[in-house]
Structure 1
Amino acid sequence: MTLTDNAARTDARAETPGPAPAPAKAPRPKPVPERAVLGRFPRAVRILGYAFALAIGLLYVLPFVLQIANSFKTDADASANPLALWPTTPSTAAYQRLFGIADAGESVPFLRWLTNSFVVTTLVTAGRVLFDSMAGYALARLRFRGRGMLNVFVLAVMAVPGIVLLIPKFLVLNSFYMFDSYSGMVIPLLVDAAGIFIMKQFFEQLPREVEEAARIDGAGTFRTFWSVVLPMARPALITLTILSFQGSWNEFTHFLVATQSEQYETLTTGLARFVAGGLGGGNQYPLKLAAAALATIPVAILFFVFQRHFVRGANAGSVKE
């Protein structure tokens, strides 16, 4: 090989174009800080906005503060100063009577109400999460005759006021010998049209590629739903759990037409009879407000613990493009 050939090869290599450089990625726009957005308004406008928001917040909180304050008052103090934010003579007699510690006056079956509410709410919440998710997945993914009509029926049920169904509900429970029983309290509430709609809308947003990959691996419809799709629906399931727990815990009209005996009273029906004056004379404001305050605690705890899990996008990153 001569010196001339080596020079020619060197020149050819130099003339050969190399790989094109990768295009530079466009910089992502930086999120505008909240303070920068608020800073566009004059300071006086911002102060008025904060003051208005604070006033609205205090307006909503005031009834709960008065409720708790009056629950620690005596009957005479609550009747004389119902709007006082601090009791003249603080007393826990109302709470002691609710839990059976004090024997003054007629006994209040608060623990029985609480137990019935917990039992019924737990069963109804578990049933709604299971059946609503199954029905929502069937309407979102399965193809069968009458599917469109079922979607219309679900929306139609959501549009019907619950008060209209009270008499038909009583007649059905009485015909099936479920009136005044736990089965009559639980079974009609196990499925909810709103829950089916929520789960259906969420399942329709999930990528189909994940389900197709599961079917290629040999998974059936139920296995795909239970092992693949349901874990991806965690935000919707948590939302459905909170709504189901709150709805069944605060349910009143259904229990009113489904039960008659005092042994099946829940917190809502028991408190309604209590407020109507079924437990002795006098206004008994502290006792009634203490029972109402205790009834709101479970729902408040559940909401504040899981509020950040309310429905949001959960399919980000599930399928790589």
Structure 2
Amino acid sequence: MRAVICHASGGPEGLVMDDLPAPNTGPGQVMIDVHAAGVNFADILMIAGQYQEKPGLPFVPGLEVAGTVRAIGPGVKRLGPRQRVMAVLDHGGFAEQAVAREADVFPIPDEMDFATAAGFPIAYGTAYGALRWRADMRPGELLLVTGAAGGVGLSAVEVGKALGATVIAGASGVDKLALAAARGADHVIDYRVEDLRARLKDIAQKLGKSGVEVAFDPVGGDTFDTLFRALAWGGRVVVIGFAGGRVQQIPANLLLVKNASALGFWWGSYRRHASELLAPAFAELIGWWSQGLLKPHVSNRLPLGEAAEALKTLKERRATGKVVLTLKE
């Protein structure tokens, strides 16, 4: 099979396309003919050797795929050959075939194309888990989403609306804010040119609230420092990542006086520690998609051989929504 291979830690330019033996399907595993693979910021960190999980070299990057079931291993009960699915992987998605645990593979409706499905699991799974499981967000609460035009952020805007929140979308640039507004954001802030803290205070006051009740933050750094001070009493901020380039320090004094909570969320850990939550979550998410509440946005589709360019597009923030590698229609 053809695959994209990382032989040494570094940037996307070091990736090479080569032939590899097809993977074996063991007990409880599913082999998938990959039609499309989602590209994530975590892939950039992984090939740089900076991700929390470090596969041995060489390895095939790629954390999520969509395609059809090619084969199933002993003990697999939910899935069968030729079934249309999406899946989450430890790595190995940038290839013509990939193997996943049965618990990490989810059926998709015939109406959902493979490129959409390939970019669905991590972005929407992260948004759903962070807001429903970690923040326990309730209808009517005021939600701030930073990085709101990125794959994860845009998904959080939509999931927040589906859960009944009033959503503030923060991003940089008119086009990105327009996209977030089109996906349901009630208020938008361009924190490249606007005073984020002042705008958050103004929006909250007009809604009769003391501040932001839930913040979903994949950006971190200076943005986190500002939004944390804009939290309401009892507010919760969910730390998703550090795309801004700096891992922030949590101000414990503000945790105390605001009775606030800073919560971490890493999607991958749920696959190991609470995998029973995943299938019901994706069933609800697919239901929302079928109702038109979720409208995945794929801004860039590139062939497998252009994986390095796809990663650069993401790294340089030239994409909105998801970037996807396509292998088959």
Superposition TM-score, scaled by structure 2 size: 0.18
| Higher RCO structure (Cα 8 Å, ≥6 apart) | 1
Name the one with the larger strand percent: 2
Superposition TM-score, scaled by structure 1 size: 0.19
